[in-house]
Amino acid sequence: MKAKITFLSIVMGTALAIFAFTGCDDSKPDTATIHGTITFRNVDVWKASGTGTKADVDSGEVQVTIFGDGIWADQGGGYVVPGGAPFNAQNPLILTRVASDSTYEYSLEVDPGTYSALAVGFRTNRNVSADMKTATLGVYWNMPNQVSHGITIPMSPFNYPAPVAITVAKGDDVALNFVADFGFVNMWFQ
């Protein structure tokens, strides 16, 4: 009887130790990180303060945003546009203009889950309609050397490939590089 109790104690102790060391991994953060490099084309359109252009430092800011699952999707009638605010709308990553610099690093901390778009845009502070406030300069779409603005509006010049959904788990550290085009500001804000 004593041997059975000793054997059971050893088995239970071993099982408890295995569970304690492998049952949960608290070393991973509760969030995930998405980071990378955005390479801008036509960066000369992003002007210094006081130039009075459509995309100068005084007229708005460049924001890196990420959209929740199903937000950037076909809204019906062939319109592929954001159907709501970005996940980080209250706290977007703001890029600071550096004269003639065409590459910018970004890093976003997000909750685990699926996101419908990673985008960079120029958000104007000028008096324009709410649905035209941000010119999407580029989105991540699995083609890191080609620009897509991610927008499709039927019967218009805006017919670009849709962004690619991104899924991250707790503790993920995902590198996503993409290209954006500042020249789009001149098309969007006419």
CB atoms within 10 A of CB 28: 12
- Cα–Cα distance, 29 to 138 (Å, whole number): 29
Cα separation, 7 vs 1, whole angstroms: 10
pLDDT of residue 20: 47
- Torsional class of 83: left (φ above 0), alpha (ψ -120 to 50), beta (otherwise): alpha
Nearest one of 172, 163, 176 to 67, comparing CA atoms? 163
Going residue by residue through the chain (190 aa), what tens digit of pLDDT does each one get? 555 555 445 545 554 444 444 455 566 789 999 999 999 999 888 887 667 677 777 788 999 999 999 999 989 898 999 999 999 999 999 998 888 789 999 999 999 999 999 999 999 988 888 888 999 999 999 998 999 999 998 999 999 999 999 999 999 999 999 999 999 998 998 8
Q: Which uninterrupted H or E stretch holds 6?
A: helix 2-22
Nearest Cα residue to 178 out of 45, 35, 59: 35
3-class DSSP state for residue 105? strand
Residues β-bridged to residue 58? none
pTM: 0.81
**Residue 75: both structure tokens together:** 């809204």
**Number of neighbouring beta carbons within 10 Å of residue 52:** 9
- Please give the pLDDT value at position 145: 93
Tokens standing for residue 152: 């499709």
Side chain identity, residue 25: D
Q: What is the pLDDT of residue 2?
A: 56
